[in-house]
Each structure stands twice: as structure tokens, then as C-alpha cells.
Amino acid sequence: MDDIDPRRLIPRTNDLLALPAVREARTRLSERVVNDLVRQFQEQARRGELGPGQVQPALLAAVAERKATTLRPVLNATGVIVHTNLGRAPLSAAAVEALVTASGYVDVELDLADGSRSRRGAGTRAALLAACPAAEDALVVNNGAAALVLATTALAAGREVVVSRGELVEIGAGFRLTDLMESTGARLREVGTTNRTHLHDYAGALGPDTGCVLKVHPSNFRVDGFTSAVSLQELSPLAAANGIPLVADLGSGLLAPDPYLPQEPDVATALASGADVVIASGDKLLGGPQAGLLLGRKEVITRLARHPLARAVRADKLALAALEATVAGEPPPVVQALHADAGQLRRRTERLAQELGVPVVAHDGRVGGGGAPGFPLPGWALRLPEGLARLLRTGDPAVLPRVHDGSCLIDLRCVPPTDDDRILDAVRQALASLEVAGAGRAG
């Protein structure tokens, strides 16, 4: 008698779909996702990669772990507060609650009193103006780059943007501000040199074809030595005398001065110095969702808001809700991490070090996201073997450490104190796995 083809023993689709755990998974996952998982393990069995008896256990494990999103929560143990690869600013509890509220039907563009259409995101605008009284009006778009594109398009499409050569920067992922602005149809009129620009350089460039003057705060780098730049206070009278809007792109998102970051520009000071429009990001030092903020003179903001491009780059209801809650609610995680008490950080770190039997080393955190480049945030870190880094990144929970000078460093600045024990458990698991792997190689 011929042997039975093992492929005939592979569980049938209907039998697998009828399993209780699979039926439960179909209440939180789409039919397509569940059916694809079933076919995936059946195909693996047909190719001989799984035994027929392994199909059901593999499927049950997969549906138990599968979520509707592939994004995984990560504990940020790098000491970098605004970590672009981790989605920049983590939201406050108030912002998360606002997101949930806004996920349904909300009055984002409706006056409930009389049933008429209202100005979109009026509550967010009011919150921004209350937090930054120097601004006459505010507009929110979907990110900082969009804010710059909108301002350039509305003020200078087909005309010139006067900007210092030393401020033509490249931002994340290879995007250059020059490319962004030129994509709007504006022409760049570069003045000065890489390291030195003077007021007379701007004065000589202004003319009937000038659409706006742009000041860009450098991100991710500093220029030291033989340098010269023109301040907003110096530029403002010149631009005003020529009837030309002065735009300041600050990037990092501080609405007001922060004594912890004395060199970082803020919106209120830029407006007080004479800028007509200030551009900032919502998901950096402000600590909110991804958004581009435009604050300034009412006449200019109205001009931007009425441009057709404003519709294409407008923020959605989720970003508007989270941004309003960030500004009006408790200090967000970014602000808490920036102002973290060094003594408390050391005590938390030393407690974990004692539990694990590892050393504590001084470690400087960073703002990240282009904010305060080169400015150290003194703190402390656990020093672990470098080989633990990958195990921590791929563990549960996922922990992102900093790898530096042959060590794996765990900095608790951006880790909520309530997650300290999760860090402790994750490191213990990684150490145990490293020991097992070492014993295996030795054997």
C-alpha cells in the first residue's frame, strides 16, 4: 500500500477558520488578514516547511500576536528626547484622550449652537493664541515643511525669496529647503556667504520682484568661528520699509523662551523682534502631534489661509485635537524629559544598576529633532555589554538603547518612572538570552 501523501493531512481551511481563537481574531482583524494567515501556514506545510500537525499551533500563535497595526511600542532609552525614528514627540495623556474623542464625529468645522459651518479647528487656534499672545492669528497645517511651502507659495510664487546662503539647510531624509521652496515656483535670491551675511547684503537684494525675506534657524548643526548673521530685529525695519513680509522658520517649536535652552529661538521672541510670520513644528519641543504652525500678523496669516494650497496641506481633526490638548493640557512628555531632575535620574538609574549588578556612567542626553544641536542634557546611564542592544530592540517590550564606545547604554530620561521595572525585566531577559547564546557557542 502506498504511503499517504502528507499534504492530504494538512488541516482544511474551514476547519481552521472554525477554531475558537480564529473566530475571535475575526472580530478584531479583517477577513482578508485572517484568511491570508490561514493560507500562509497551509502553503508552508505544502512546501514541507511545516508538518501538517504544526499548522494549527502556528496559526493559533500567529492570530494571538497579530494586531491591526504593525507598529510596535518602544521604550526610548537613548536619552534623545525628540527621536525622529521613534515618531518624535510622545503625546501627553490629555492629547491621547483628545485623539480618542476626535476619532468619532466631532464639531471640527461646525457651530453646534446654530448649526452653521464654522472656522475649522477654532479651538486649536484659540489655544495657540492664548499660549502665544504675541501672535495675532494662527494657522495649522500638516507639518513644518508644508508650512514653509505654503508661506513661500502664497507670498513669493513666481517671485524671489531672499535668504542667506548660510541658512540653506538640508533637513531629515535628504530633503533640502532649497528644493522645497523652488518646487513652489519661487526663485531663491541668495545673499551673503556660508559663514557671514550682513544687513547690506539683504538691502542690495530687495526690489520689486521680492516676494518675502526668509530667516531660517539652522537645525542639526552649528557654525562657529569667523561668522556673522543678521538678526530679525535688524531685518524687520528693512523689510517693513520695503513692504516685504519677513518670515522666520524656527523649526523646533518653542512658543516661549525656555531657560534650559537659552540658545534655542522661540515664537514669541521672533514675533516681538518683528517677524510677520513664524513657522514651527508641533511635534518637536512643543511636544505635540506632527503639525506645522504658522503664527503672526493677522493680515499675512489670512493671506496664507485663503491660498488654494492651504486646503491641500491642512491638518486633520486628529492632529488639531491633539495639538489643542498639548497646548492647553499638562506638560507633555517632551517637556518633562527636558526638565527632568538630574538627581532623580541618578537615583532611578542606580536602583536598576543595583538590581542588575552593572555600573552607572555619566551620560549626556540630547534634544534631538534638530533642536539645540550640540547642547548636552546631563544625566546617567546603565552600562551594559554591547551585545545586548539587538536583544533589547527585538525583545518584549522593545527597548531602544544607545550603542556607544563598545557599550550598550540605557538612559532613563525619556522613560516614564512607571516603566522602570519594565526596563529592568527587559534587561534581565536580554542578559539571560546572551548567557544562553554564549553557553551554546562554548558547547
Grid cell locating 282: 508641533
Tell me: do 98 and 19 sit in the same domain: no
78 pLDDT more than 80:
yes
3-state secondary structure of 165: helix
Local confidence band at 182 (pLDDT 50, 70, 90 cut-offs): confident
More reliable by pLDDT, 421 or 342: 421
The model's pTM: 0.91
Residue 247 forms part of a structural domain:
yes
Least confident residue range of 72-86, 213-227, 309-323, 333-347: 213-227
Same-domain check for residues 186 and 111: yes
Residue 116 lies in a domain: yes
pLDDT of res. 176: 78
Does 41 map to a domain?
yes
Domain limit, last residue, from 278, 303, 329: 329
**For the segment 318-356, what is each residue's pLDDT rounded down to a tens digit?**
999 999 999 999 999 999 999 999 899 999 999 999 999
Give the CATH number, domain containing residue 318.
Answer: 3.40.640.10
Cβ neighbour number for residue 278 with a 10 Å cutoff: 31
Boundary-marking domain end, from 312, 329, 346:
329
Beta-carbon count within 10 A of 367 CB: 24
The reply to whether 240 falls in a domain is yes
Contact assessment for residue 42 and residue 10, using Cβ atoms and an 8 Å cutoff: yes
Q: Is residue 1 part of a domain?
A: no
Asked whether 433 and 391 are in contact (CB, 8 A), the reply is yes
3-class secondary structure per residue, 325-357: HHHHCCCCHHHHHHCCCHHHHHHHHHHHHHHHC
Query: Residue 402: helix, strand or coil by DSSP?
Result: strand
Beta strands in 43-159 (DSSP E): 74-76, 137-141
pLDDT band at 169 (very low <50, low <70, confident <90, very high): confident
57 and 118 share one domain: no
pLDDT of residue 359: 97
Does a structural domain hold residue 226?
Answer: yes
Residues 304 and 410 both lie in one domain: no
| 366 pLDDT higher than 50 | yes
- Which of 329, 346, 375 terminates a domain? The answer is 329
The separation between the first and the last C-alpha atoms of the chain, rounded to the nearest angstrom, is: 45
| Least confidently predicted of 130-144, 271-285, 366-380 | 366-380
- The CATH number assigned to the domain holding 344 equals 3.90.1150.180
Q: How many domains does the chain have?
A: 3
Grid-cell match 496641506, residue found: 313
Mean pLDDT, residues 394-421 taken together: 97
In whole angstroms, what separates CA 394 from the centre of its chain? 21
Q: What is the mean pLDDT of residues 25-34?
A: 95
User: Does residue 78 fall inside a structural domain?
Assistant: yes
218 and 95 share one domain: yes
Tell me: pLDDT of 1 over 50: no
Same domain assignment for residues 298 and 368: no
Q: How far apart are CA 160 and CA 285, in angstroms?
A: 31
> What mean pLDDT comes out for the span 284-289?
96
pLDDT tens digits for 431-442? 998 887 766 666
Partner residues linked to 277 by β-bridges: 247, 296
In this predicted model, which residue has the larger pLDDT, 195 or 435? 195
Q: Which range has the worst mean pLDDT, 182-191, 325-334, 407-416?
A: 182-191
- Do both 360 and 306 map to the same domain? no
At residue 251, the pLDDT reads 80
Domain presence at residue 181: yes
Q: What is the mean pLDDT of residues 257-285?
A: 95
Percent with pLDDT over 90 in the chain:
83
105 and 45 within one domain: no
Task: Examine the pLDDT at 175 and tell me if it is beyond 80.
Answer: no
* Residues 341, 297 within the same domain: no
Sign of CA dihedral 360, 76, 289, 183: positive
Same domain, 150 and 213: yes
pLDDT bucket at 181, cuts 50 / 70 / 90: confident
303 and 347 assigned to the same domain: no
Asked whether residue 404 carries a pLDDT value surpassing 90, the answer given is yes
CA 56-57-61 angle, 5° bins = 115
- Do 379 and 433 belong to one domain? yes
Residue 37: which domain range? 6-65
